[in-house]
Structure 1
Amino acid sequence: MIRHLYRLCPQPWLLLRLGLLHAVLAVLQGLLLALLVPILRALLRAEPDFAAAEPWLFTGAIGLLVYAVLTMIASPVGFAASMQLAAQLRHHVMRHVTTLPLGWFTADRKARLARALTADVGCVAQLAVTIGAPAITCVLVSATILAVVFAVDLRLALLLLAVVPVAYVTLRHAGRVASAAEIELEAAATEIAARAIELGQAQPVLRAAGRGETGGERLREALDEHRRSYRRGLGRSTLPDLGYTAVVMAGLLAVLVLGARMLLVGALSVADTVAWMVLAVRFFEPLGALIDLVGALRAMDNAMTRLEEIFHAPALPRSADPVRRVERASVEFSRVSYAYTDTPALSEVSFVCPPGTTTALVGASGSGKTTVTRLIARFFDVDAGVVRVGGVDVRDLDPEVLMNEIAIVFQDVYLFDATIEENLRLARPEATREELLIAARAARLDEVVERLPNGWQTRVGEAGAQLSGGERQRVSIARAFLKQARIVLIDEAGSALDPENERAIGHAIAELARDRERTVIVIAHRPTTLASADQVVSLAGGRVVETGAPDELRRAGGVFARLYHQYEQTRGWCIAARRDATRSASP
């Protein structure tokens, strides 16, 4: 477990110092107890020899002073080690997850990641100090006393030693039971966290369905299961824990009986018997305390295992000699295939987006449009074929260089719970105020800012909940303008918006495409967006079925023409009010 902890900790030096400090304290405690032997031998005789006891008493006083000083040092070192370990682990986890492909972030794994950053990291950091240090002390105090007794009386030492393997086997069994119970309890706790998040996020749906008060059934079930898991764990752990305690108590009883018998038959002096009783009690006391620590130690070990599972998740591979410059803003797919599961999302896809052009990706839902944009940004790696940016395989590009060249406008925009300005500056924190205003005007975000009570300093709420969908899209497009990336990927930016926001976002996308040094790839079906495209790539079933200029494909009567006409027809739809006409009877 100690190797497990030091392997997991990125910089274990402070933790190592704390462990060594507690090891010294434990050994010193055992040695101070050992001084009882010469002191009692000098004092508990027919004629006490205070002169013989004086050097040992003086040594003991110095030892107690050193012990007190080291104990005072250990407390701040322990707090510092705990805080440093927690910070290191959280940074280590976050650095690693930013290198993982997006396919790793399933709903279950996102919940597991949240638990890892909160519960698991906190558990490891706290228990490594509050439980790990006492565990080291318990083991080393007993070991030091055993070594001292070996030096004093071999018979008594062998009796103490005989208890150790039985206690060890019993303790390991209790630890395995506690570990299994903790794993089950943690799974139940993770389910509670997931259901609580679900309950909060689903409030609009639950209330609309008239289940605002009863919609927490799944959460209540999770809470009930957590309680049952806790009871099952207690039930399973009771017998092993009592068994270990019985072994320790039986060992102590045997030692006390043997010591008393040896005293009665004259095989042991009164001084040695008293010292022996004290040492025996101090040998078994920390051993008995281990049963109170083993559950927490197993919990810490399980938490470390869960953290290691995240660290062992394979990151996207990096080139040993990455390309650090993109010469031109071109995008090329060459016979690209990719599958999220067993069903291919893309098959043998090939097309080229020359620098400074706008390419529209069209196709039915599930045709692979979004997958194309994700592969360009290297959220995943292709299963076959090559994706090139600037003529270079994206797998050979430095990831930072690639992301600096790309701006992405997602269909579902996520905004942080900060001000509009802070959310916009994510694209370029060093941008000037003038650059900020230019980007806002280009994305029609200035109209939104002007009507908000606090303007740029308006907080947008969690995930941007204080803004409408169209307003969030304008923030996202403004980010693309502010970033000044040469390649812009737009994923259904105008879907499901009101006419005003649709027009504003359509104008903003057209403004993005107007810059002939910028390559734009947009997923859209609206005629206003398609009219500004230099070429259209039609996808169906994960394959390219058409490529060409919009006018050419409209006349060709293929997939693009069919989707285009369907959208044109839907623009004319309206909800007609039914009017009741009264018909008067004619004579």
Structure 2
Amino acid sequence: MIRGVLALIPDEFRRFTPRYLALVVLLALSQAAAYLLSVPVLQALFDGNYGDAWRWTSWLAVAVAATAVFGYLQSMVGLRIGVGMLRSVQTRLGDHLSTLPLGWFGTTGSGAISRIIVGNVREILGVFSHLLSPVLNAVLVPIVVAVGILFVDWRVSVAMLISLPLLLVVNRLANVGYSRSNQRIHDAASEANSRVVEFAQAQPVLRAFGATGAGNKALDGALRRQQKASTDAVFASVPGLMVFALCVHAVFLLLVYVVIGRATGGDLSIASAIALIAVSSRFIEPLNQAAQLSNALRSAGSAAQRINTFLAERELAEATAPVQLSEPSIVFDDVAFGYSEDEPLITGASFEVSAGTTTAIVGPSGSGKTTLLRLASRYYDVDSGSISVGGHDVRQQPSETLLGQVSLVFQDVYLFNQTIEENVRLGRPDATADEVRRAGEMARVDEIVERLPDGWATVVGEGGASLSGGERQRISIARALLKDAPIVLLDEATSALDPHSEAVVVRGIHELTRDKTVVVVAHRLSTIAHADQILFVDAGRIVERGTHDELLEQGGRYAAFWGERSRATGWHLAPSTYRSDLNGALGG
């Protein structure tokens, strides 16, 4: 448990760990010394030897002062390590997140990710700031006290040394129930986080269907499960704490019994007996404190385990050797890929996109069209076969080299909660303001900023929530225009746009793809018809390929697809039928 936390300490703070542990030991020794020195102080007072009492009291004051100093120093060092871990671990998690294949995100929700990066990291922060020291003290202080009592009465010392490991075992067994429920708390909290984010982002849809508040069963259910998991954890920990508390008090009564028995037998003076009873109460105090913190420490250990498991997720292998790129072409050679090993999505895909040409990929929904685009930019590694971009296998190119050749425009446009200018500048961060404006004009983003009070400085909201789908797509195209990469991977997203937005976006796409190597998942008939090569994909296989005229002459799957699209384009409601249906619906 602690080993997992220690593994997360950043290198620049590891040198503080021995100092922290040394201060914890010194704190325990000084605290135990203060407890033990109360024995001669009380003996001297009861014996009326005030000179010795003052001398021992002076030493007691030194021990108390040392306890305060060492406690302060270990708190400062622990806080320094904890804050350093907070910054470093979150940075490591963020860097690692950017190296994971996108397939990983399909099985892990945003709630679980945020829970790890925010919640779990804050849990491990508390280990060094306020958890580890009292737990270690709960072991060290009683041991030192028990050893020190050897010089007063060995029988009481032996009773302490025997009872201590028994109490630690009882504490561990008593908390088994909480440890088991900790993972359920994490899972429930992750789901609740995801549902809350979803609830906030999907307000228009939820309100349209009356699924807000108690009507949102998904959110309500997630919050109920989180509440139940937390309640179950409390009920699981309470019996253990009660059992441990009873055992601690039983040990204290045992020590009192031994002391009183020794005193009544004449082996101990009354003063020594009173002092030993006082020390015995100090002996069990750290144990009670540790019992209250042990669940939090175990929770932090589980959090560290989840963080280390996340950091162990397999990254996409990164090439480091530079490559000399040739012309901007793309070659798929017998590519196979699946999001899971037992369910292949792409099988035996082989094709070439020559430099300066346009290849359109068409086919039914779910056939793997968009996946082919993402494989070309190495969003995932292929299961077999190879993909070459610019004359080199994508796995043999540094990510910056590969992605520097490619501009991506997909259907699922995501804008950051920043200004329009910052979202466009993402295409090339070092671009000048004039270059950003020029790309915006080509994509007709200038039309958007003209009607906004803050213009280019308008913040678009999370995911671009304050903009329409067509406006978000224009900004996405402006990004790609600003990047000006020789290869464009385009998943057209104009089918859901109004005629004006579609026309504007199409003009931006024409500017983007001029004199470029283009692979497009095509939805518009004009884009398909003018492509240099058309690939018809079905169930992850390329079943037909050729030009538009060649495929129509074959009369196969593409010809049927083209016919269906053409008929759908010309479909409309007959005015008389529409009026008749409308009048009937209105009752007249």
TM-score by shorter chain over 0.5: yes
The Cα of 1:335 is off from its aligned counterpart by 0.3
For the residue of structure 1 that corresponds to 2:268, the secondary structure is: coil
* 1:132 to partner: Cα distance: 2.1
After superposition, the Cα gap between the structure-2 partners of 1:219 and 1:280, relative to the gap in structure 1 and judged at 3 Å, is same
Q: Structure 1 residue 349 and structure 2 residue 365: aligned?
A: no
Give the Cα separation in 1 of the matches to 2:106 and 2:575: 45
Identify the match of residue 27 of structure 1 among 26, 29, 34. 29
Which of 406-415 and 266-275 deviates more? 266-275
Return the alpha-carbon distance in structure 2 between the equivalents of residues 22 and 253 of structure 1.
29
The answer as to whether partners of 1:491 and 1:523 remain within 8 angstroms in 2 is: yes
- 2:311 and 2:338 map into 1 onto residues whose CA distance is 24
In the aligned structure 2, how far is the partner of 1:228 from the partner of 1:505?
49
In the TM superposition, what are the counterparts of 1:347-426 in structure 2 within 5 Å?
347-426=347-426
The secondary structure found in structure 2 opposite 1:267 is coil
Distance in 1 (alpha carbons) for counterparts of 2:424 and 2:62: 64
Indicate which of 550, 553, 556 corresponds to 2:551.
553
Per-residue Cα deviation, 1:72-128 (whole angstroms, up to 9, x for no partner): 334444443333222222112111121111111136432211211222112221344
- Aligned to 2:365, the other structure's residue is in SS state coil
Q: 2:192 touches 2:219 (CA, 8 Å); kept in 1? A: yes
Q: Give the alignment of 1:184-263 within 5 angstroms.
A: 184-212=184-212, 214-263=214-263
Matches within 5 A, 1:291-302: 291-302=291-302
Q: Distance in 2 between matches of 1:143 and 1:400?
A: 58
Relative distance call for 1:327 and 1:140 in structure 2 (3 A) is farther
**CA-to-aligned-CA distance 1:48-88 (integer Å, 9 cap, x gap):** 272x5666544444443333333333444444333322222
Partner of 1:566: 564
Residue deviations 1:294-346 (CA, integer Å, cap 9, x gap): 22122112222222221222112234x54444333221100001112333211
Q: How does 1:435-450 map to 2 (within 5 A)?
A: 435-450=435-450
Corresponding residue SS for 1:471: helix
Aligned to 1:172: 172
Aligned equivalent of 2:183: 183
CA contact (8 A) 2:138 2:289 kept: yes
Once the two structures are overlaid, the 10-residue window that deviates more, 157-166 or 487-496, is 487-496
Q: What is the CA–CA distance in structure 1 between the aligned matches of 2:555 and 2:466, rounded to whole Å?
A: 44
Alpha-carbon contact 1:535-1:549 (below 8 Å) kept: yes
Aligned to 2:526: 528
* Structure 1 counterpart SS, 2:479: helix
* Counterpart residue number, 1:331: 330
Match of 1:122 in 2: 122
CA gap 1:180/1:572 in 2 versus in 1, 3 angstroms: same
Contact 2:47 2:271 in 1 (8 A): yes
Alpha-carbon contact 1:36-1:275 (below 8 Å) kept: yes
The corresponding residue for 1:584 is none
Change (3 A) 1:63 1:236: closer
Comparing 155-164 and 60-69, the one that deviates more: 60-69
Alignment partners' CA distance in 1, 2:219 and 2:5: 34
1:280 equivalent in structure 2:
280
- What corresponds to 1:98 in structure 2? 98
Offset at 1:41? 5.1
| Greater mean alpha carbon deviation, residues 130-139 or residues 428-437 | 130-139
**Letter matched to residue 182 of structure 2:** E
Q: Percent identity?
A: 38
**Cross-structure match for 1:512:** 512
Query: Is 6-15 or 246-255 further displaced after alignment?
Result: 6-15
Which residue is 1:503 aligned to?
503
1:408, distance to aligned residue in structure 2 (A): 0.9
Residue 456 of structure 1, CA deviation:
0.7
Q: CA deviation at 1:145?
A: 1.2
Please, which runs of 5 or more residues in structure 1 have no aligned partner? 582-587
Matched AA of 2:569: R
Residue 138 of structure 1 is matched in structure 2 by 138
CA distance in 2, matches of 1:490, 1:379: 15
The structural deviation recorded for 1:514 is 1.6
Contact 1:525-1:564 at 8 Å conserved across structures = no
In 1, Cα distance between the equivalents of 2:178 and 2:211? 39
* Cα contact 1:538–1:544 (8 A) shared by 2: yes
The residue aligned with 2:430 is: 430
Distance, in Å, in 2 between the alignment partners of 1:238 and 1:212 is 36
Q: Distance in 1 between matches of 2:316 and 2:510?
A: 34
Q: TM-score, normalised by structure 2?
A: 0.91
Helix, strand or coil: the match of 1:106? Answer: helix
What's the CA shift string for 1:501-558, capped at 9, x where partnerless? 222222222222222xx32211113133235533222222211223333343344433
Q: Are 1:509 and 1:529, in contact at CA under 8 Å, matched by a contact in 2? A: no
Which residue pairs with 1:585 in the alignment?
A: none
Measure, in 2, the Cα distance between the counterparts of 1:183 and 1:32. Answer: 41
Report the 3-state secondary structure (helix = DSSP H, G, I; strand = E; otherwise coil) of the residue aligned with 2:574: coil
| Structure 2: distance between partners of 1:169 and 1:489 | 61
The alpha carbon displacement at 1:271 in A equals: 4.3
How many equivalent residue pairs? 577
Whole-angstrom CA distance in 1 between matches of 2:385 and 2:175: 51
Which segment drifts farther, 531-540 or 241-250? 531-540
> What is the CA–CA distance in structure 1 between the aligned matches of 2:204 and 2:107, rounded to whole Å?
20
Provide the C-alpha distance between the structure 2 equivalents of 1:37 and 1:453, rounded to a whole number of angstroms: 78
Superimposed CA distance per residue, residues 153-187 of structure 1 (whole angstroms, 9 cap, x where no aligned partner): 32221110121232122111122112123333333
CA distance in 2, matches of 1:142, 1:326: 69
User: Residues 436 and 135 from structure 1, CA distance in 2 versus in 1: closer, same or farther, beyond 3 angstroms?
Assistant: same
Shifted more, 496-505 versus 212-221: the winner is 212-221
Report if aligned partners of 2:495, 2:523 keep a CA contact under 8 Å in 1. no
Q: 2:2 touches 2:301 (CA, 8 Å); kept in 1? A: no
For each residue in 1:128-167, what CA deviation from the matched residue of structure 2 results, as whole angstroms up to 9, or x when unmatched?
4222222122222222212222344322211101212321
TM-score (ref. length: structure 1): 0.91
Aligned partners of 1:174 and 1:237 also within 8 Å: yes
CA-to-aligned-CA distance 1:210-252 (integer Å, 9 cap, x gap): 4445422333333333343344333333332222111111111
Determine the structure 2 residue equivalent to 1:162: 162
Letter of the 2:381 partner, please give it.
D
Worse-superposed segment, 107-116 or 453-462: 107-116
Counterpart-to-counterpart distance in 2, 1:505 and 1:580:
37
Describe the shift of the 1:312–1:133 C-alpha distance in structure 2 as closer, same or farther (beyond 3 A): same
Taking a change above 3 Å as real, the CA distance of residues 164 and 580 of structure 1, as seen in their structure-2 partners, is closer
2:278 and 2:407 mapped to 1: Cα distance?
A: 73
Counterpart-to-counterpart distance in 1, 2:42 and 2:208:
81
Q: Could you tell me whether the CA contact under 8 Å between 1:358 and 1:534 is conserved in 2?
A: yes
Unmatched tracts of structure 2, length 5 or more = 582-588
The 3-state SS of whatever aligns with 2:360 is: strand
